[in-house]
Structures are given as structure tokens and as C-alpha cells.
Structure 1
Amino acid sequence: MGDTYTVGQYLVDRLRELGLGHLFSVAGDYSIEWVNSYVEKSDIQAIEEVNELNAGYAADGYARLKGIGALCVTYSAGSLCATNAIAGSYVEKVPVVLINGAPSIQKTLTFEQTGYSSHHFISGRETDLQLFEYITAAAVRIDSPHLAPMLIDYALTQCITERRPVYIELLEDMVDLQCARPSAALKAAPDISDEDSLNQSIAQISERLQNATKPLIWIGVEIDRFGLHDQAERLIRDLKIPYVTELLSKAILSEDDVQFAGVFDGKSSSPYVQSLVKDSDFVLALGVWLTDINDLGWPIDLAKTAFASWDTVKYGTIFNAQVSLADLVNGLIDKRLTCKAQSLPAKTARQAPVAVPAGEITYQGFYDFIQQQIDGNTIVGADASLNYFGSLLLEVGARRGFIVQSSYSAIGYIGPAATGVSLAKQDNQRLLVFAGDGGFQMTAQCLSTQTRFNLNPIIFVMDNGIYGVEQWLADASVFHGNRPFYNSCILHRWNYSKLAEVFGCQGWKVDTYGELEDAINGAKENLNSPSIIQVVVPQRSIPNNANWKAS
């Protein structure tokens, strides 16, 4: 290639510029030239995944910590397998770049004009493009080297601006063609607030904060997605009032904070948090998403809650459009407001290790025991399962120390997401992952990739033999009676710990707390591969904070 600068190099350079250090890929002949000739020769490490769904989940987990993630797949047969992961990233505002290797212009025209099909074709040149337009912030097709820089820059700028996935269809014959070099660095498009709407919102919220007897801040996931952690902490400090988070935003700020009251998740919240939310006379919700998982069984009082999201403020009958969340938070900080003082219960030191309990492991007993294993260097991940409830009340001291996909809630997410998190986390951090057995069966091949690349998440598979959360959602009373579980919720049980022999990692099966303690100690010493701990729990055992629906 000499001194020529190509489309393939342009894409690599722009991704590296945004901070991408790892690319999750699945081999495919339409994309393999770009990976082999450009990615492999760059500072980006290619992580070869076992399937496209796992690659998508891994890129999502990576992006939640790094601010950008990417996967490379092949046309249709590969890309369509990744749609569920990309849809989840779209819903949860996670900036993932999907690079889809596509057939050449010649192959495309031959198919369209003669009907002679190259492999993976469905119905023409825009099948994949049109599909991904619905679940990305931008979808572009690179079929001209002259337009490639503009289209790539547009897609990547949309990705970092909207914090949502984008789709780049890279034709196989474009990769080595010459194009212009990058000019200015890529930057997210600046927020543009309507001045009148912004000032009105700041004034209205300021008045309510100062006049409220028991004001409360509700920190939502958009504080994390748009990197407003420091500003949110500054506002909380200045106002000197308590704050709660939602499940999706759990631990985006350290839960050791003296003003942190807990996670609000409807009737699954702690009694103290439920009382705090109920008794407050004004709630400022910053970047909160209203979902059925975030307000379990609890009607949100819209009359006393001001919702400030990415670009709007809603409070009662007031609606102010084009108000940037960042501008609003900074504006409230600048007001130097004084709120009525409130006192929170004193933070207690984390529970010291206690004697190992006797008897069989229960869901609640497991989480009571696990709390002792979490310190300031622990990242916790929970799958869409009964683990939502158990993990919700864990105290996580690490800032950005909790990974969950609770809005989209695709079971099976957390195992392969742990691959990406393991590559994105700091070296001194350890990842603990809690998966249901049904979800883990969907994506268990994550152990293969984690073993291949010497990643060391500790994965707890809660083995109760059922799709527990699906049964809970449909009819939770079954857990407190003798009626049978729905047939559709009953699993074929695996011996999960034996998968370690298949994939070359380490595994344990535990039925007692003593065995659990031994397994955790062994897993902590295993630094070069994933550890899978199969935790056998009774089928009718559920976390205490899930009992409200089962009664």
C-alpha cells in the first residue's frame, strides 16, 4: 500500500482516536480483509468471538466503561445475529459501532441484474442497511472511497453525541481504495439549549428545591451516559440533601457516599428508601428513565417529581423542550442554592465476615453472604433474572461499579458482556457476575472467549432449574405455594460447573455456604481464566425484596 491512505485505515484511525482498544469480531469473508490487513496491524486488539450475539453483548459491556465499543461481523448471516444486542444498546444508550462487511459492488449488481446470488444475500443491497436504521442513531453504506471519510465521520459523531449504536456497512472492495486522511478530531456535537426554556427550568426547579421540606434527588442513568458524574456529585454536595439511584444507574456514583440513601426500585427498594421517596415533597429526577423494572409496583407521583432528561424538563403540567441535562445541572450549581437540612442514618461500616451459615443456600442467604466479598475494587454485573432483586440491595463502593441491562432486559446478556467489561475495567478491579441458569444457557459460550484471552470474571450461575424471573412476572404466587411452575418456565438442567472442563477454565458446584466460601476463595486465586460457580438454590426460594409480588 506504500504511502497511500485507504478507507480501511481511515476507519481504524477514527476508532482508535475515540479510545477503542479492542474490537470484537467473528470471522467472515466479507469483513476479514479489513480485520487482517488493518485492525491486526493497529493498536486495536481483535477479540475473536464465538458468535455475533456474544460479540454484540461484549461490545456493549466494553462501551459502558470505555465510552465506545465496536464489533465487526459479516453480511446478513452474521449481522442479523447481532440485532438483539444492538437493539439493547440502542434502548440503553450505549455507544457501539457495528461494522458489517458487505459484498462488493460487482457482486451486488450481478445479483440485482441477473439474479445470480453471492452467499448471504437476501434481497439486495439495502436489506441490512434498512433493518439497522431502526435500531441505530446512524446507518451508512460505504460504497464510494470519496464519500467514505464524510460518512464514517458522520456515523461516529452521531455515536458519541447520542450515545447510541451506529451501523457502518463496509463493502469488501472499498477497504483498500484510497481516500482523504482525517482532518479535525471528532467531537460530540455540542448541546444547544433554548435559553428561555433553560432559564425557566432552572428557576422553577430552584424554587421548588428551596421551598421543599424534604427534597430528594433521584440520579438516573443519563448522568452516566453523558459523563455528568462530577457535576452531579457537585450539585448533591452543594444542596446537602439525600439522593437515590435507579437500578439502571446503581453505583454510577460510589454507594459509600454519605448522602446516598439507596436504590429506588418501587416495592423492591429497602423500607427506608420507600419511606424516603413517599415522604419527600419534591423529587428532582436527573436523567431517570421510567420503566416497569424501575418502578416495580410503585405509582410514581408525577405531581411532585421534576424529570430532567437529555433534552427536556417535565414537571406536572410544565414541559420545557430543548433543555440540555448538562446545562441544567450546571445552571443549578451556579445558583448556589440552600435547601432545608436533612439527616440520613449514619453509614455503617461494611459487615465484617461472620461465621459461615449452616444449611442449604437460599437466594437471600446467598446475597447476604456475597456482600462480604464486595470491596471498593469490585465491579458487579447482574443479568435479567431474580438476580435483579438480590443485587439491587448490595452495597457497591466503586464508582461505575455496577453493570445491568434492566431497561431492555435481554436474559443472557451479562455473561458475554462480562467479556467486554473485563477488557475495559482497571487492572486492580475484579468482576463478579450473577446470572440466572436460563439466561446463562443462552450465551454460555462466553466462557470460551474469556478463557482464550485469559480474562477472569467470577460468574455465579444461580441453579434453580427454572426461568425464575419469567415465572415471577407471570404469576409470582407460585413461589409461595404448592402449585406447579409453568411448563414453559421449567429448564433442562445442566451441570454448569462441568463446562469448565469443556472450555478450559475453572468451575465449582456448591450446595452449602461452606462450599460457597471455598469456591469463592478458589476463584479469587484464579487470575488467568473465568471461574464459574454453580450455586444450587431451591426452586421456590426468591430474594426477600421480591416477596411483595408473591404474597
Structure 2
Amino acid sequence: MSMKLENGFHTETMPKATTIKPIANGVAAADKLRSQSRSIDNNGAAAPSPVIIPPPTTTPSTLGHYLARRLVQIGISDIFSVPGDSNLVLFDYFVAERGLNLVGCCNELNAGYAADGYARRRGVGACAVTFTVGSLSLINAIAGAYSEDLPVICIVGGPNSNDYGSKKILHHTIGLPDFSQELRCFQNVTCYQAIIDNLEDAQWQIDRAISKCLEERKPVYISICCNLVAIPHPSFSAQQLIPLSLSPKKSNQMALEVAVEKAAQLLNSAIKPVMIGGKKLRPAKAQEAFMELADACRYAVAVTPSAKGMFPEYHPHFIGTYWGTVSTAYCGETVEIADASIFAGATLDELETVAFSLTYKKNKAIIVEADRVVFPNGPSFGPILMKDFLSAIAKRLNPNPTAYENYRRIYIAESGPLQSNPGEALRVNVLFKHIQKMLSSNIVVISETGDSWFQCQKLKLPKSCGYEIQLLYASIGWSLGATLGYAQAAPEKRMVLCIGDGSFQMTPQDVSTMITLKQNNIIFLINNGGYTIEVEIHDGPYNVIKNWDYTAIVNAMHNRDGNCWTTKIHTEEELVNAIEKAMGDQKDCLCFIEVIIHRDDTSKELLEFGSKFAAISSRPPRLV
């Protein structure tokens, strides 16, 4: 059968199971489990175990088969998981499904972060955990995915269907016979919730949840009673699964025409208008339309920090990241002196605006949201899809490169960092000078919370070089799990993760999963002895953390089993040698490079950022 793939989503007929190339063969994994299944005897030794894995099938016959097949059909080839007593039978079906790889993570939080990273690349991700004790550990990662408009399918192995309403107190709960706390928690961070406690409507529930996930581009929650997974049922026995019923949104044509006319009048009368792209370009599937507009109008083009990588930085009119006082060189000045602007997909939250300190001319700014257009001091028009508006306005604007020409006139390239003296302690700007040299079309940069935010924003991304950041939710430690997931989704790319020691201590365990999966990520662990971003907002002894022997920890995870190379560096010369090795004879390994940096060595942007946030956090209370 044929398939149409649009930004990671299958929008037409369902593909064959082999259409999505698996990272690891699910059948091979099942065969391996059948032949090597082991348990622990009373003496702690490994002993054979009579584990039975369901055989691969071509036709779904049980709920477990059906869900596994649906996941493959929407483009998922990896599920990030942690086993528990209520999801084990379901996991058997995931293992047996052709083209589906069950990735075991060290904890639920990292499994959720991995699904987040996977969804950024594939357009949809999935994770599977056990009831309550597992899912509530997962929920922080799902909240972050919600903030980033990432379609993630959260699958929970639920209690036996007979226990609902039975007044029994179950393990993994908080000790009350009403164990609906999990559902109530997920109602706040998912766009749809399904509890499958019978087989009669299970097929509809699964399809409804997946459809909502794809339509809304938000996480969904599916809880499946553990005793239903393996029971055959006629609703799962169709020879061919029907396509998912998606309801694509449409623009109101009259509203679109009025909005385009009004926007054209404002922008064509301006002297030096600019364009700014935001992170909502991705969920709105409007990146191509934004590019079309940039090519047509020739305005200076900036992005907000969360949208870095969503617009090509080699574009002739790209001017950098607009981030208020911590913008890249001369970008902020160009945007803020513009006499008209169009913000497409920008989320102007506290972090994107450096504590709401942006000074662009709000009375001359058109805000294009996912489904409406908002004009300054005037009406908003909708429903209008972002991509429809951008494509339509591109045909109405007069080319006007004035703002870009002004930018080029005032732009003075920042001089690179001075060459280090032999044996001199490594400086952070020297580190990122060499990371810049590593970048190519097959690299994806993952930026963790902290000074890496600001250092990575200054990197110039070559064509097809990827970039990911989680700015709004800003969950410290997110990047390690996200790197794991993104690498599984894009095996043709190589991840470069920039993470501080404080963030690494939050989520280090799944470096071992990367090694197990034979990923060749390059991890720069920037060791400066604490939470540097917090230091610049408000310092105290709580920002100092125990120093670990990080390379020794990763070596212990490696444990002489897998491809892994580690090193600890103190100087520029050692850094150059480490990068040459990581890009050369260790290119097929996971490379862990611990970089020793002075505690007070930070970017000037972080100092400015910290000062702004210290001021906004210390505002006195309003008088009643």
C-alpha cells in the first residue's frame, strides 16, 4: 500500500510494515529473547526461564497485536520503556511485532525524554511504563513534551479490569481504593486520555487516542488493563487495518483574505520590516511556508531561541537569534528598530523574552499563531492556519531588503577567542570554537539548560545540521534522554550533546542504554562544579555539587561490553586531540569527553540573563 509522509505524519493510506526501516529487527529481538530468556534462581545465578514470546503475526488478533501494529503504521519503530508487572504481557507483543524495537531505559523519566527526542525527528514518539509508580515518574517528561507540542503516545500497563470499582487497595498506588490519581494527573499534560478496561471499544479507543495525538500534536495517555492484552477478539482480526481517521483543520477563506489584505497594507507601507520565526513553526507544519515568505519579501529574518535550526542559517537574509538583550550580534538592534514585524509561531514566554524585556515595536507587530492572525491594537482573524497565511501573504508583499542591508552595514564580526597558551586552562569560548569546526550536515546539536543555551545559540549551523533545545519547560537533565531518542530516530545523524555537570547528575543512567544500542553520540560534559545558570541568578552553597569522576562512571557503565571511549581534558591541545579522535578512529563509538572549565567561566549572555531574572524574581509584592 502507499504512504504519504508529511513532517513525520502518515496522512493517507497505511504503509506496509516494512516501509519504516527499523533500527533493530523486532523479530530478531524476539528470537533472541526466546532463546536466551533467563531468570534468577535462589542463589542469584542465571537460570533458564520458560518465557513465551508471542510469534510474529501478519494479521492482528489481540489487543496487544493491534496496538503494536498501529504504532508501526504511524512511523514508530522504537518504544522507550521500563518494565513492570502490569505491562509485561503487552511488552511481549511489542517485542514480537515486525519493525518494532522495544528500548529498555533505566528509568521512566529518561524514557519520556527519549520519546520527546524521537518525536522531534520522526513526528511522533512512544513510551511504555507501568501503572502509577511508573507513570508518575514519567509525567515530568510528558509535561515538557506538551510544552513543546510534541506528539508522544504514553502507554501504561494498567491494573486488572476486575479491580476497577472493587474497593480493593492495590500495590503501586497511594493506598486508596480509588486509584484514579494517575488519570487525573495526565489530564493536565495530555490532549486525550483513554482507559481501556474492555475489549468491545478498545479498537476505537486506541484509534481515537492516536488520531488526537497526530491532529493536536500533543501527548496522549493510553492505559490498558493487563488482563485484556492477550485475549483474541473479532475487532482485531480484520485482514487489513483501515486508515486512521484524521480531521485536518482548514482556514476560513474569508478571514484569510481579510487578514492578508490588512497585513499587506501594514507591511508594504513600512520602511524596514523584519520577520521572526518561532518554535510553533514546527507543529504548525509551516517551515516551508515561512521560507517561501522569506524568499519573496527579502526581509531580514531572525528566529527566537527555541526555533534555532528551524530556518536555514545559510539563507542570504538570516541575521541570527532574536533574544532581547542576549540576541546574537546586531540581531536584536535590527529587530527592535524595525518599523514593522511579523512574528510567526513565536511563543513570547518569560525565557524567550528574557524576563519580558523585549523592546520591539509591539504596535507594529503582526503575530501569526497556529490558527489565527493577531494585529496590533486591532482585531484577530481566524481560524487561519499559519502555513496558509504565510503562503498567501508571500504573494502580496513587495520585496524590501532595507532592514537586512542596515544589518550588514552595522555588523562587525565578533573576533574569535585568542589562541590558548601551551598548558593554559581551557576556556569555554575556546571549547565552542572547536565544536563549531565539527559541525556538518550529518550532525545534530542538542543543547542542555545552562550556559550551553547561550554558547550553542552562537554556533553557525551548516546546511542540514540539526539543533534541539527545550527552553520553555527548561527541565534540567532533559537533553540526555532526548539525545538517546533522537539518535534512535535518526541513525544517519551523529548527536553532539553539550551538557553541564549539574544537569548530567540528574539523568546519567541512560548513557548505558546508548552504549547498549551502539549509538555513536559525542557527549561534551562541561564540568565547572555546579549549577552555573543558578549561580548567575542567585548564588549560594546549594549551587555547588559533589564532583564525580564522570569518565570513570561512564567506563563503569561500559564495563568492557560495547563501543565506548572516554577522556578527560584540561587544555586546548587536549581538546583538539580528543575531537580528532572522536571524529576519526572512534567515529563509530559513543565518545564521552569531560571538559574541565573554571566555575566562573561563562558567556556574557548568561551574565546578562541572570541579572534580568534576579531582578524579576525579587520584585516586591503588589500592595492590595
With structure 1 as the length reference, what TM-score do the two structures score?
A: 0.92
Which one is further off, 172-181 or 21-30?
A: 172-181
Say whether residues 1:418 and 2:477 are aligned partners: no
Counterpart amino acid of residue 324 in structure 1 = L
Amino acid at match of 1:100: V
4 and 393 in structure 1: CA distance in 2 versus 1, 3 angstrom threshold: closer
Q: State the partner residue of 1:401.
A: 466
Counterpart position of 1:481: none
Quick one: distance in 2 between partners of 1:467 and 1:439?
A: 8
The aligned counterpart of 1:202 is 260
Give the SS at the match of 2:506.
helix
* 1:54 matched residue in structure 2: 110
Answer yes or no: is the 8 Å Cα contact 2:119–2:151 preserved in 1.
yes
Describe the superposition over 1:333-388 as per-residue Cα deviations: whole angstroms up to 9, x where unpaired.
3x342132333639999999996664222222322232112122221011111111
Q: Deviation string for 1:247-297 (max 9, x for gaps)?
A: 111011221111211111111112310121122111111111112221224
Match of 1:440 among 490, 495, 504: 504
Once residues 322 and 365 of structure 1 are traced to their aligned partners in structure 2, the CA distance between those partners, rounded to angstroms, is: 48
Quote the residue 1:453 is aligned against. Answer: 517
Pick which of 526-535 and 495-504 moved more.
526-535
8 Å contact kept, 1:217–1:242: yes
Equivalent in the alignment of 2:39: none
Q: What does residue 63 of structure 2 align with?
A: 7
Partners of 2:340 and 2:97 in 1: how far apart? Answer: 55
One-letter code aligned to 1:40: A
Contact 1:251 1:397 survives alignment (8 Å): no
Q: Which amino acid is the alignment partner of residue 420 of structure 1?
A: G
SS at match of 1:47: strand
Matched, 1:488 2:542: yes
AA matched with 1:509? K
Q: CA RMSD in A?
A: 2.5
Gaps of 5+ in 2: 1-53, 559-563, 612-624
Structure 1 residues 184 and 208, CA gap change in structure 2 (3 angstroms):
farther
Equivalent position of 2:147 in the other structure: 91
Q: After superposition, what is the alpha-carbon deviation per residue over 1:383-410, rounded to whole angstroms, capped at 9, x for unaligned?
A: 1111111111111124471011011100
Measured after TM superposition, the shift of residue 7 of structure 1 is 1.6
Provide the C-alpha distance between the structure 1 equivalents of 2:305 and 2:491, rounded to a whole number of angstroms: 23
SS in 2 for 1:225: coil
Distance in 2, Cα, partners of 1:513 & 1:62: 34
Q: Secondary structure at 2:312's aligned position in 1?
A: coil
Report the counterpart of residue 219 of structure 1 in structure 2: 277
Task: Give 1:169's aligned residue.
Answer: 223
> Does the CA contact (< 8 Å) of 2:522 and 2:590 recur in 1?
yes
- TM superposition shift of 1:530: 2.2
The one of 335, 338, 342 aligned to 1:284:
342
- Asked if the contact 2:442–2:464 (Cα under 8 Å) also holds between the matched residues in 1, the reply is no
Q: Which residue of 2 aligns with 1:69?
A: 125
Identify the residue that residue 159 of structure 1 maps to in structure 2.
213
**Conserved? CA contact 1:212–1:340, under 8 Å:** no
Q: Is the 8 A contact 2:109 2:140 kept in 1?
A: yes
Residue 267 of structure 1 aligns to a residue in which SS?
helix
> More relative contact order in 1 or in 2 (CA 8 Å, sep 6+)?
1
Q: Which amino acid aligns with 2:205?
A: L
Query: What's the offset of the Cα at 1:162?
Result: 1.3
Matched, 1:311 2:371: yes
Q: CA deviation at 1:298?
A: 2.8
Letter in 1 for 2:207: D
Paired residue for 1:482? none
56 and 369 in structure 1: CA distance in 2 versus 1, 3 angstrom threshold: same
User: 2:531 matched to which residue of 1?
Assistant: 467
Shift in Å at residue 549 of structure 1?
4.8
Cα deviation per residue 1:100-137 (whole Å; 9 max; x = unaligned)?
Answer: 00011123344x2xx35345465434221121011001
Secondary structure of the equivalent of 1:271? Answer: coil
**SS where residue 167 of structure 1 aligns?**
strand
**Are 2:195 and 1:141 aligned?**
yes
Please identify the structure whose Cα radius of gyration is greater.
2
Give the C-alpha shift of residue 18 in structure 1: 1.0
SS in 2 for 1:445: helix
Q: Which residue number in structure 2 is paired with residue 478 of structure 1?
A: none
Aligned residue identity for 1:543: S
Identity of aligned pairs, percent? 26
Task: Tell me what 1:253 maps to.
Answer: 311
Distance 2:417 2:333 in 1: 29
Distance 1:410 1:4, change over 3 A: closer
Contact (CA 8 Å) 2:275, 2:299: kept in 1 or not? yes
For residue 46 of structure 1, what is the amino acid of its counterpart? L
For residue 91 of structure 2, what is the aligned residue in structure 1? 35
Displacement of 1:59 after TM fit? Answer: 0.5
In the TM superposition, what is the alpha-carbon distance from 1:216 to its structure 2 partner?
A: 0.8
Query: Residues 274-353 of structure 1: matches in 2 within 5 Å?
Result: 274-296=332-354, 297-318=357-378, 319-333=380-394, 335-342=395-402, 343=405, 345=408
Q: What SS does the corresponding residue of 2:523 show, helix, strand or coil?
A: strand
8 A contact 1:383–1:412 mirrored in 2: yes
- Could you say what secondary structure the match of 1:164 adopts? coil
Distance verdict in 2 for CA 1:408–1:17, change over 3 Å: same
1:415: Cα distance to partner? 0.8
Residue of structure 2 in register with 1:362 after alignment: 427
* Conservation of the 8 A alpha-carbon contact between 2:68 and 2:97: no
Relative to 1, partners in 2 of residues 1:540 and 1:118: Cα closer, same or farther, differing over 3 Å?
closer
Q: Do the aligned partners of residues 520 and 323 (structure 1) sit closer, same or farther apart at CA in structure 2, a change above 3 Å counting? A: same
Task: After TM superposition, give the deviation of residue 300 of structure 1 in Å.
Answer: 4.4
What is the CA–CA distance in structure 1 between the aligned matches of 2:269 and 2:175, rounded to whole Å?
Answer: 62
CA deviation map 1:119-172 (0-9, x unaligned): 546543422112101100111111121211211111111111111110000111
Amino acid at match of 2:230: D
Deviation at 1:188, TM superposition (A): 4.1
Match of 2:441 in 1: 376
CA distance in 1 between partners of 2:306 and 2:246 (Å): 24
- Alignment pair present for 1:268 and 2:298: no
1:495 deviation in Å?
A: 1.6
Q: Is the 8 A contact 1:415 1:446 kept in 2?
A: yes
Q: Which moved more, 1:320-329 or 1:352-361?
A: 352-361
User: Matches of 2:165 and 2:556 in 1, distance apart?
Assistant: 45
- Aligned equivalent of 2:170, options 102, 109, 117: 117
Q: 8 Å contact 2:581–2:587 — kept in the other structure?
A: no
CA contact (8 A) 1:353 1:372 kept: no
The aligned length equals 536
What does the per-residue CA deviation read over 1:2-21, in whole Å, with 9 as the maximum and x for residues that have no partner?
Answer: 86622222211221111101
Deviations, residues 495-522 of structure 1 (Å, cap 9, x unaligned): 2122221111321111111111112222
Distance 2:408 2:490 in 1: 32
State the secondary structure of the residue aligned to 1:218. Answer: strand
> Match of 1:160, SS?
helix
**How many Å separate the matches in 1 of 2:71 and 2:421?**
50
| CA deviation after TM superposition for structure 1 residue 96, in Å | 0.6
Which deviates the most, 168-177 or 451-460?
Answer: 168-177
* Corresponding residue of 1:506: 565
Distance 2:366 2:125 in 1: 32
Contact 2:420 2:426 in 1 (8 A): no
Q: 1:503 to 1:348 in 2, by over 3 A?
A: farther
Taking structure 1 as reference, are residues 550 and 452 closer, same or farther at Cα in structure 2, changes over 3 Å only? closer
Structure 2 CA distance for aligned equivalents of residues 134 and 549 of structure 1:
30
CA distance in 1, matches of 2:565, 2:316: 39
Sort the Cα spacing of 1:454 and 1:408 in 2 relative to 1 into closer, same or farther, 3 A: same
Change (3 A) 1:540 1:66: same
Task: Tell me what 2:49 maps to.
Answer: none
Between stretches 384-393 and 187-196, larger displacement belongs to 187-196
Query: How far is 1:322 from its partner?
Result: 2.1
- 1:323-342 per-position Cα deviation (integer Å, ceiling 9, x unaligned): 22122122223x34213233
Per the TM alignment, residue 529 of structure 1 is displaced from its structure 2 partner at its CA by 3.8
Q: Partner letter of residue 508 of structure 1?
A: T
Structure 1 distance, partners of 2:101, 2:115, is: 13
